[in-house]
């Protein structure tokens, strides 16, 4: 892979920052054709971008750089894939890939005042994506209104007839209570007249 052609430069490259790291993921080829939104969790240790895992002064000869502390939770990254075009795909020793530079997602600097390094995300088109890579469905945008539609008053819904009146259940209850009270009073009168009360 050409070290000079890793992606588009959007800012100053030689600004002091933490070490850069490389992470390789496989995504479904149709996701690249559509420019899909994906999500994945970064592993704690990633390959050093300076030596590509061979060991150098940046990674202290380990070939890997930690992107978070031991007690920190996993870091989930969301990326909108660039729409695949022949100009954006590079040939590498492991096949064809697209490399995206993501600022401040790389290694942590020894100096707490410096920003994190770059995450060089190598995206490889494949038939089956890596299991940790998930596609996120974008929320559907509301329909775009013309100026006339936006200025028009909202259409009022036709008035609906009220539903037919339900049988008066409460009046039935009142009648039953009245009948029970009447029978109770009759029972009390009968008991009094018969001398049993």
The pLDDT tens digits for 118-162 are 888 888 888 899 989 888 887 777 777 777 777 777 776 666 666
Provide mean pLDDT across the span 83-112: 68
pTM above 0.75, yes or no: no
In the chain, the number of structural domains is: 1
CB burial of residue 147 (10 Å; 0-12, 13-18, 19+):
exposed
Question: Which tens digits make up the pLDDT trace of 27-52?
Answer: 988 888 888 888 988 888 888 888 88
Phi, psi of 188 (to 5 degrees): -65, -40
| pLDDT for residue 111 | 80
- Closest Cα partner for 96 from 24, 22, 41, 9? 24
For 125, the domain range is 21-136
| pLDDT for residue 184 | 92
For residue 64, tell me if it sits in a domain.
yes
Better-predicted residue by pLDDT, 94 or 137: 137
């Amino acid at each position: 892979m050409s070290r000079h052609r890793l992606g588009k430069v959007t800012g100053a490259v030689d600004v002091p920052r933490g070490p850069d790291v490389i992470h390789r993921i496989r995504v479904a080829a149709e996701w690249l054709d559509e420019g899909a939104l994906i999500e994945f969790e970064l592993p704690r240790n990633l390959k050093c971008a300076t030596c590509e895992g061979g060991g150098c002064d940046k990674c202290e000869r380990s070939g890997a750089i930690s992107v978070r502390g031991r007690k920190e939770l996993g870091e989930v990254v969301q990326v909108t894939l660039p729409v695949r075009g022949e100009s954006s795909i590079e040939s590498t020793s492991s096949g064809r890939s697209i490399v995206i530079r993501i600022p401040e997602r790389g290694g942590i600097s020894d100096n707490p005042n410096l920003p994190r390094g770059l995450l060089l995300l190598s995206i490889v088109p494949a038939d089956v994506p890596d299991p940790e890579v998930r596609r996120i469905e974008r929320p559907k945008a509301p329909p775009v209104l013309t100026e006339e539609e936006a200025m028009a008053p909202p259409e009022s819904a036709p008035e609906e007839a009220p539903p037919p009146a339900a049988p008066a259940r409460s009046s039935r209850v009142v009648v039953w209570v009245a009948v029970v009270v009447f029978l109770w009073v009759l029972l009390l009168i009968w008991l009094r007249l018969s001398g049993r009360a």
